[in-house]
A and B are shown apart, each in its own frame.
Chain A
């Protein structure tokens, strides 16, 4: 996708996040619009930085860095960014993202139907294993470190 399309996709997604925030979280329209716009702008800046920076690091990395920097004490906009992005609940964005995730399922359904039940059991074990083991190790480490 080219730049204009990237921007268009995020504008649409940002608008959907506004709708989710208004319908699901009863956020005032203007607050939701500003919050969503800020999130979209930060994301786009992150993607831009990822494209111009050397080292071929993934977009996830640069978008994270830009987003984190935008609310640390060195950012002149930290207070504003924190205040307005808080209006767009994480769960509201999740609803938008998983709507699209759902709409991609169909293309894999034919292949999915041909798969044996065995591999489905294995897949469940894989997802459960990674979540559970990491949670277990985190629980132990946080206790040892005295954080919880």
Chain B
């Protein structure tokens, strides 16, 4: 049984949990905002260091097991958010329209900010794969089917996927905490924004917002949970039928304007 063969992973996870929770939350003021360091951040970073191949603590096989465990465990977060939503389902329904519309922000946000930057940096067709979505597993499947993973688009989606694994949660957690501490957005809006469609990124962002607004914890978790569920459910179809065609169209329009000269002349683009 794979659990017994990979006991080391679980033992290390136990140690990480104990150490991280003992350190507790730390706040470092930066300009008008705050950089928030939560136990989950230490756990992620310490885990990352331990998993470094040069450390030779855990094998690739054990890391694969950890990946399988991780995809199951995000369901535990989903359950926790679900039991919070239950009693206030009516309240959530009141915000149903706002919740649905903000999903457009999730789906187009990656393109709006990412695509112009990718094109300007000279990434060519990789830009499309990299920015059409948040590039988690379901999105990789879309690109794999349409272009194949050895295409430029496939390289783009895989590169952002790997960045997501390595620092996605850390980054999203830090910017969410920073923005929350600035107090320019309402905690409910930030909560909805957290539902980006990746379990660990959603957890990091939501955790940071809760830490800044502890009084509104249940509402924040409720909106974040509902938003994340919507992003996950609608995401696959939206990315396939709307985001990808639009990203392709914008790529054609923006490349002549933004791409560095060598790319425009060189034919990296189609």
Q: Footprint of B on A, CB under 8 Å?
A: 1, 4-6, 8-10, 12-14, 16-17, 19-20, 23-24, 39-40, 42-43, 46-47, 58-61, 63-73, 75, 78, 81-82, 85, 88, 90-112, 115, 118-139, 141-142, 144-145, 147-148
Contacts and interface: CB of A to CB of B under 8 A. Distances in A.
Given A69-B86, A95-B39, A126-B113, A137 B50 contact: no
B110 A126 contact: yes
A68 B84 CA distance: 7
B203 A97 contact: yes
A73 B75 CA distance: 23
Contacts of A112: 162-163, 166
From A90, A94, A112, residue with most partner B Cβ within 10 Å: A94
Interface majority SS (helix, strand, loop, mixed), chain B: helix
Interface string B1-37: 1110000011011101110111010000000000000
B81 A103 contact: no
Interface in B152-210: 156, 159-160, 162-166, 168-169, 171-172, 175-176, 179, 185-186, 188-190, 192-197, 199-201, 203-207, 210
Interface residues of B, number: 131
A24 B25 CA distance: 9
Contacts of B172: 127, 131
A61 B225 CA distance: 11
Contact of B67 (A47, A65, A85, A104): A104
Contacts of B255: none
Given A102-B16, A131-B176, A148-B189, A108 B229 contact: no
